[in-house]
Structure 1
Amino acid sequence: MKVACVGGGPAGLYLSILLKRQDPSHRITVYERDPEGSTYGWGVTYWRGLLDRLHAHDPESARAVEDASVSWSEGVAHVRDLTTRHRGDQGFGIGRHRLLEILAARARSLGVGLEYDHAVTAGNVPHADLLVAADGIHSPLRTRDAGHFGTATATGRNRYLWLGTTKVFDAFTFAFVETGHGWIWCYGYPYSPERSTVVVECAPATWTGLGLDRRGEDDGPGEDGGLALLEKLFAPVLDGRPLIGRSSDDGSARWLAFRTLTNRTWHHGNVVLLGDAAHTTHYSIGAGTTLALEDSIALAGALRAHPALPQALAAYGSERRSALLPAQSAARHSAQWYENLPRYIHLPPDRMFALLGQRHSPLLPYVPPQLYYRLDRAAGRLDALRRLKGWLGPRIARTAQTRTLAGRR
């Protein structure tokens, strides 16, 4: 089978590895619009479960990824001048650039063709038995037939900014700072022995009130996203280390509003969607790379199990859309938790941090925070109460959604 994979990110590269391992006779080419080594971004996160799956499907690349990663097992939250620290599951961070190096080298070693600096548009689609659209949220292949795929996007309210820093955090770190224009906060995690990722987020009123929306002005934050101001606001957690703009040639940092993308179907003819071309989930759950790699595992498995391409692509789409439902729900509630931060921020830091860990719950928005905290603590000791909490959450969420839809009619 001749396979053209458009997009040289983790999903496309890992799919090419899996397909070559399944059948070395496959003729696979990965097309990436950017030059090799010019990837943007800082570090990505993942958890032990993904690493176990990588070891099961390609031990060689999994060992290389694990060796290049750093890990942590604690979370720490700074609220004003108070700090709380909790133990948690083991998390991992790896530089996006390093992850792509590992996957590209493994793909090449298996005989995959890698074509960098080769943009594929709707007008120059390569000929292949299978066309894999792994070219991100703005995928030209998907956009060409957006009506068929049923593509839809929803834009979040808050503004966010991806940055790097030479401060190496020893835990997954949250910092919440109160300003005269509202709260601004960051999440930080290490991805190498020398650097960490920092994601800054705030409500629109804070973003404009602090002047972070102004660009290109001599006295404003400019295209650097207001790094000097952010360094000042987060100086205690950064230990005075600098923030670094986008990891790219121009070094700029751009504020964004997160776009959640969904598709009604994931294939059309011989074109199939993979990773961010198929779906996006809010960055606050740290699952984007994991879900993309799991897409690759599922697609390779479907192609192995179903010799006929239409059946394979249909099985893949059905499996992954179903598997994504919990992550999409968690991402939606996580984003809403941050959008409603004033509801939780005035709790004692240990309680606020506990509810931060519960932000994926569909029940939390409908229960007073102090009461939810007490229920959650009790549920940890009483099986019956925990089951009741799990039963109530989805029902309350469905009722609220029904009322919202009825109000729109």
Structure 2
Amino acid sequence: MRVKVACVGGGPAGLYLSILLKLQDPSHDVTVYERNPEGSTYGWGVTYWRGLLDKLHARDPESARAVEEHSVRWNHGVAHVRDLATRQDGDEGHGIGRHRLLELLAARARSLDVRLEFEHGITPENLPDADLVVAGDGVHSALRTAHAAHFGSEVRAGRNHYIWLGTTKVFDAFTFAFVETDHGWIWCYGYGFGPDRSTCVIECAPETWTGLGLDRADEGEGLALLEKLFAGILDGHALIGRSSSDGSAQWLNFRTLTNRTWSHGNLVLMGDAAHTTHYSIGAGTTLALEDAMALAEALREHAELPEALARYERQRKAELLSVQSAARYSAQWYENLPRYIGLPPQQMFALLGQRHSPLLPYVPPQLYYRIDRAAGQLEVLRRFKRWLGPKIARNVHARALESRKD
């Protein structure tokens, strides 16, 4: 059955959904609306893992090959703590420039006769005439906000401050650096996304942010200070910002967004408009693309729109549970960094890799490290960790619900 679909927001999710719908049925009428000019995307590089690439190849080998060809990859991580460094092997990771990713997906969409309307903002007052309107317009989605009560939107701001920067330093591994200052710790995550650029996300606690004067510094002053603090990993390369019109630095507090329901009539949420997960697990783009996959498949398998949207929401909410839990514990690990930073570098890096664990916050770090090392050799301890972790997570969640009722 031919359907008319309007994708609001020209990010990865909207573009990939348009590709999948056209591949399912070329007669579908699909338009992507993006309020900004073509090529003016924000951001630096995005990360993804081999599992996503396999899913992309299964659904559209042509766009998957293009994405893989323009990505860089790594299979290890490096952590710098003060003047010490440790390196560990890990899963194969990939980085690609956000601008390049959108360019590749837009080209593929055009080749399938998707209409791309740039500099065409959509508001709740001028919704397109379509069978389905997909709100892929980000965490600040105007379409979701107009029906916030219906969607049951809830936003929680994180404690720490962070800023997304670029750099001309090309990291050959996923790089962590932790620097101690007179006002507390400040740290960064760095990863390459092209032959001459890397992303550098810098984070610190509120007292460190104000103590260093980053709350008062304009972008130029802030970048100069950060370049000095992270000189050990930048090797003389510059940090690159994205200042606002008044020259201020773009420091943020991460906002975790959840929605009770994801659809309202023929309007459905996707990507960051529906959910956000803390950047420290590097899953935002992957989850948005997986939303697009699930929505396209639900629309293919269910002729009636309400059934299709209900199937999409059930599937994605179930799949997101473990990811959202991992993101929550990962954010808490960094918010409680002093608990781990004094460990020997090898142990600290090992627990950095275990930061998604619901068990870790409740076990002394060195004891957890010894248990984890033993669990790598003994099946009975691995089973114990798998059994105990979810039970603790459920109890913590139940206590949180009870405290809200009070």
The answer to whether the superposition gives a TM-score over 0.5 is yes
Percent same amino acid at aligned positions?
Answer: 75
Residue 183 of structure 1 aligns to a residue whose secondary structure is strand
1:2-32 per-residue CA deviation (whole Å, 9 max, x = no partner) reads 1111000000000000000000001111000
Is 1:223 aligned with 2:219? yes
Give me the whole-angstrom Cα distance separating, in 2, the residues matched to 1:194 and 1:187: 17
* DSSP 3-state at the match of 1:55: helix
Residues 1:378 and 2:374 aligned together: yes
CA distance in 2, matches of 1:26, 1:209: 56
In structure 2, the residue matched to 1:398 is 394
Deviation at 1:404, TM superposition (A): 4.5
User: Quick one: distance in 2 between partners of 1:15 and 1:168?
Assistant: 32
Q: What are the Cα deviations for residues 21-72 of structure 1, in whole angstroms up to 9, with x where unaligned?
A: 0000011110000000000100000000000000000000000000000000
Alignment of 1:92-131 (within 5 A): 92-131=94-133
Mapped pair 1:285 → 2:307 = no
Deviations 1:108-166 (A, max 9, x none): 00000000001111111111010000000111111111111111111100000000000
Q: 1:179 to 1:100 in 2, by over 3 A?
A: same
AA aligned opposite 2:327? A
CA RMSD of aligned residues (A): 1.4
Correspondent of 1:269 among 265, 268, 284: 265
Cross-structure match for 1:31: 33
Distance 1:16 1:391, change over 3 A: same
1:405 Cα deviation from its structure 2 partner = 4.5
Which whole-Å deviations, capped at 9, do the CAs of 1:297-318 have from their partners, x for residues lacking one?
0000000000111100110011
Deviations 1:190-210 (A, max 9, x none): 000111000000000000000
1:17 to 16, 19, 22: 19
Are 1:162 and 1:253, in contact at CA under 8 Å, matched by a contact in 2? no
Cα deviation 1:93-118 (Å, max 9, x = unaligned): 00000000000000000000000001
- The count of corresponding residues between Structure 1 and Structure 2 is 403
- 2:244 touches 2:250 (CA, 8 Å); kept in 1? no
Identify the match of residue 303 of structure 1 among 285, 293, 299.
Answer: 299
Conserved 8 A contact 2:219-2:243: no
Contact 1:13 1:103 in 2 (8 A): yes
SS of aligned partner of 2:299: helix
2:336 aligned with 1:334, yes or no? Answer: no
Q: TM-score, normalised by structure 1?
A: 0.96
Distance 2:173 2:247 in 1: 26
Residue type matched to 1:352 in 2?
M
Distance 2:145 2:402 in 1: 32
Deviations 1:281-308 (A, max 9, x none): 0000000000000000000000000011
Superposed CA deviations along residues 202-255 of structure 1, whole A, max 9, x for unmatched, are 0000000000011xxxxxx21347000000000010111100002899986400
Note the residue ranges of structure 2 that are not aligned, 5 or more in a row: none
2:210 to 202, 208, 211: 208
8 Å CA contact 2:74–2:93 kept in 1: the answer is yes
Is 1:343 paired with 2:339?
A: yes
Give the CA deviation at 1:407. Answer: 5.0
How many Å separate the matches in 1 of 2:156 and 2:130?
A: 33
SS in 2 for 1:84: strand
CA distance in 2, matches of 1:253, 1:274: 29
Change over 3 Å in CA distance of 1:37–1:225 after alignment to 2: farther
Output aligned runs, 1:13-162, within 5 Å: 13-162=15-164
Change (3 A) 1:225 1:124: farther
Q: 1:144 to 1:406 in 2, by over 3 A?
A: closer
- Contact 2:219/2:247 (CA < 8 Å) preserved in 1? no
TM-score (normalizing by structure 2): 0.97
- Matched-pair contact (CA < 8 Å) for 1:245–1:251: no
